[in-house]
């Protein structure tokens, strides 16, 4: 099992520390943000998957919060250094993303976390928007122990049928891109195939309701409840 010696941290508190690292994936190195809880562990692990903006401060902040709750977190930089600040830029980066490679890099992030001496062998995925859809697709291709999907587009039936990992889906009632009808269809399929799941659609919440860096859509009440559900889901299926 691998051990990490932390260099000067990107962030540090008495409950966690974090830095950028490189981890191996399919013959190349992928950058990522590694956040560690304080203490010797062992701890369960979580792969945190970016929105279409890239590995921005919001994702790092959520990784820090999860680490402070006792999870070892790795957020892969699926754009390999590129970030966007405008929707048109983000759209171009998302469209250029090799989805199969991204799924492989997410899977490799989980394998890397499992190789660390202070992890328990339990790995969950959490993703937002584009990252939520990638979390579902990764779980369909490479089963993990738990998935939390924040407003990621539900999978088509054929791909969804391969999910056996417990799925927590968190959506906004006013999400114009992901109507409640397709979320409900996804939930019905998970029920029919016996996949453990819980789906929450928050009244009055828009797409990206969890992102406090976007005040035009941030919904504090929905974000707080979704965070509570996320921690409970990971504690149930990953341990704490």
Q: Which domains does the chain carry? A: 11-238 (3.40.50.1820)
Predicted pLDDT at 152 = 96
Predicted pLDDT at 12 = 58
pLDDT band at 11 (very low <50, low <70, confident <90, very high): low
Predicted pLDDT at 40 = 84
Q: Give the active site residue among 64, 77, 129, 197.
A: 129
What is the C-alpha to C-alpha distance for residues 19 and 7, in angstroms, rounded to an integer?
7
Q: Give the active site residue among 64, 77, 145, 175.
A: 175
149 catalytic? Reply is no
Q: Give the active site residue among 58, 197, 207, 219.
A: 207
pLDDT tens-digit series, residues 111-160? 999 999 999 999 999 999 999 999 999 999 998 999 999 999 999 989 99
129 catalytic? Reply is yes
pLDDT band at 27 (very low <50, low <70, confident <90, very high): confident
Predicted pLDDT at 115 = 94
Query: With 70 as the cut, is the pLDDT of residue 41 above it?
Result: yes
Query: With 90 as the cut, is the pLDDT of residue 7 above it?
Result: no
Query: With 80 as the cut, is the pLDDT of residue 5 above it?
Result: no
175 catalytic? Reply is yes
Average pLDDT, the chain: 92
Mean per-residue pLDDT for 73-99?
94
Share of the chain above pLDDT 90, in %: 87
> What does pTM read for this prediction?
0.93
């Amino acid at each position: 099992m691998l051990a990490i010696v932390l260099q000067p941290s990107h962030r540090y508190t008495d409950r966690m520390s974090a830095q950028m690292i490189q981890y191996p994936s399919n013959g190349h190195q992928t950058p990522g943000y590694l956040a560690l809880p304080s203490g010797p562990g062992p701890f369960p692990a979580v792969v945190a998957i970016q929105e279409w903006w890239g590995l921005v401060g919001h994702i790092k902040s959520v990784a820090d919060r999860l680490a402070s709750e006792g999870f070892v977190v790795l957020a892969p930089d699926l754009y390999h250094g590129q970030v966007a600040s405008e929707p048109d830029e983000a759209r171009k980066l998302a469209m250029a993303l090799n989805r199969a490679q991204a799924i492989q890099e997410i899977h490799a992030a989980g394998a890397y976390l499992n190789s660390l001496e202070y992890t328990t062998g339990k790995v969950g995925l959490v993703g937002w928007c584009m990252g939520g859809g990638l979390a579902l697709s990764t779980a369909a291709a490479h089963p993990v122990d738990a998935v939390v999907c924040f407003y990621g587009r539900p999978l088509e039936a054929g791909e969804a049928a391969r999910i056996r990992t417990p799925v927590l889906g968190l959506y906004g009632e006013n999400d114009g891109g992901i109507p409640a009808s397709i979320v409900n269809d996804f939930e019905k399929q998970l029920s029919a195939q016996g996949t453990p799941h819980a789906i929450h659609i928050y009244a009055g919440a828009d797409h990206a309701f969890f992102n406090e860096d976007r005040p035009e859509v941030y919904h504090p009440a929905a974000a707080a409840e979704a965070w509570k559900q996320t921690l409970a889901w990971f504690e149930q299926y990953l341990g704490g």
